[in-house]
Chain A
Amino acid sequence: MKSTVVFALIAAVAILASSAPAAAHHSSAMFDKTKVITVEGVVKKWELTNPHSWLWVDVVDKNGKTVQWGFEAEGPSTLARAGIRPSDFKNGTKIKITGNPLKNGNPQAIWIDAVRESDGKKFDPRAGFAVK
């Protein structure tokens, strides 16, 4: 699959701002919670670390250039509570992922949700804070 940027910078609804993840140790002030980006790409690296994990995705932009996007989520146990496991994102996994981007325009975002192309499985890191 040729990875493409699907669309960028959609005006967000207020509810998205209020549902931003509770960051473990730092403020999310650097992210623009009024904007949402969605990209399609290939997983390049899955950093499962505390206090935050990072999913790195190679995305081919409209000019054919590969851009390395990073998506920040919570740590391993919170992700486990959301049903997100280390084995879910092997290198080369094709996904479509959505997030609130950095205000400075760099290609990093808070991870809101993702869909794996192979089986359509959805991944919502924020679900890990639900107590069940």
Chain B
Amino acid sequence: MRFERALLITALLALSLLLPACTAATQAPGGPGASVGPKRTREQNIELGRQHKTAADLFKALRDEAKGGQKLEWNRLPDWSGVYSRPLDRGFNFDIDQPKDVQTTAKLTPEYQAKLVKRLEDLKKDIEWDPISTCAPPGVPRWLTEPFLREFIVTPNQTWLINEMVNDIRRVYTDGRDHIPEEDRVPIPNGDTIGFWDGPRLIMHTNQLKAGIYQRGNPDYTDQVETVEIWQKTDDRTMGVDVWVYDPPALVEPWYVYHTYLKLSDPPRIQYWDCGENKNNSVFQNKEGTTEFRSLGYSEEKNTEKSK
């Protein structure tokens, strides 16, 4: 009897020691108790950007810090399910932490500072032309700012970051491949993104991007722009993204910002965007440099009509 009781106690003790280990072994990255990586303040993240001359350097440093990262498996994927959107309660700027009384938190070169000043002066006169007015995709890094529906699809070798706007998908290759060779790179809106997983964090590097604007009333970026991003769920409802932007012709130092996307409780289904399906959405840049509709009015015969 005494022996049986001792055996039972020993078994229970062993079980209590083994259970946490088993849970950790089967737990998906990002689950409760998962590693969240080094916690840095905004100032420390700004400084981290400054410490690395290029986006590629920063990405390599983060990969070294994570000892190369970990390979995902189908039965241990982080739960990034749901439909998300960017909250606009703090405005539309690329840096949502930008104080209201400053033009930008980016440290711009004189040429790009002058461009921003001109843009803001024009805005005061209601002169504005958005380069995506003809249905071009927003492109990265602007992609991060758009206020529409998003889905994040995780697989072991690729993660798809989807924005419903113009059916836009960023493919993040996490299978260990490198970027396209430099001599074969052609600027494209969403560029080329590679990444790795470090616990619940997706760390990625994007190059091969096309010039654009961060958002209306925000600075320009050039086709030398590159980003390093760390994506991580901070709670069941919130996706947070640390972003470092490198763009030597336009930025005198990397621009660090933090983006947040919130999961919607009752989202509609994401629909296909045919940006040219309604002629009433067709605009042009007039001789004053601002935006004007081509023609407006509905057709009695057809519900919608393609833009001419």
Contact = CB atoms under 8 A, between A and B. Distances in A.
Interface of A: 22, 24-27, 29-30, 44-45, 47, 49-52, 54, 56, 68, 70, 72, 75-78, 80-81, 102-103, 106, 108, 129, 131-132
A34 to B, nearest CB: 10
B148 A29 contact: no
Contact of B164 (A22, A27, A77): A77
Q: Which of A50, A80, A103 has the most CB of B within 10 A?
A: A50
B44 to A, nearest CB: 28
Contacts of A47: 278, 280, 298, 303-304
A50 B271 contact: yes
- Chain B binding surface SS class: loop
A74 to B, nearest CB: 9
Nearest to A81: B268
Contact of B275 (A25, A56, A70, A129): A25
B275 A22 contact: no
Given A22-B88, A22-B147, A29 B126 contact: yes
Interface of B: 85-88, 92, 126-130, 132-133, 135, 147-149, 164-165, 216, 262, 264-265, 267-271, 273-275, 277-278, 280-281, 283, 290-293, 296-298, 303-304
B268 A51 contact: no
A30 B290 contact: yes
A51 B281 contact: yes
Contact of B291 (A24, A30, A78, A131): A30
Contacts of A68: 297-298
Contacts of B304: 47, 49
A50 B275 CA distance: 6
A49 B130 contact: no
A29 B290 contact: yes
B148 A77 contact: yes
A24 B149 CA distance: 12
For the complex of A and B, 10 pairs with smallest distance between CB atoms: A80-B268, A49-B278, A27-B128, A26-B133, A50-B273, A27-B291, A29-B128, A131-B262, A131-B87, A45-B298
Given A26-B283, A81-B264, A131-B85, 18 more contacts: A25-B132, A30-B293, A45-B303, A47-B278, A47-B280, A47-B303, A49-B277, A50-B274, A50-B275, A51-B135, A51-B165, A51-B275, A52-B281, A54-B298, A68-B297, A70-B280, A77-B270, A81-B268
A80 B268 CA distance: 6
A129 B267 CA distance: 12
Given A81-B268, A131-B262, A25 B278 contact: no
B88 A25 contact: no
Given A47-B280, A75-B273, A27 B296 contact: no
A129 B271 contact: no
A70 B297 CA distance: 7
Contacts of A102: 293
B92 to A, nearest CB: 6
Contacts of B128: 27, 29
Contacts of A70: 280, 296-298
A103 B292 CA distance: 10
Contacts of A49: 274, 277-278, 281, 304
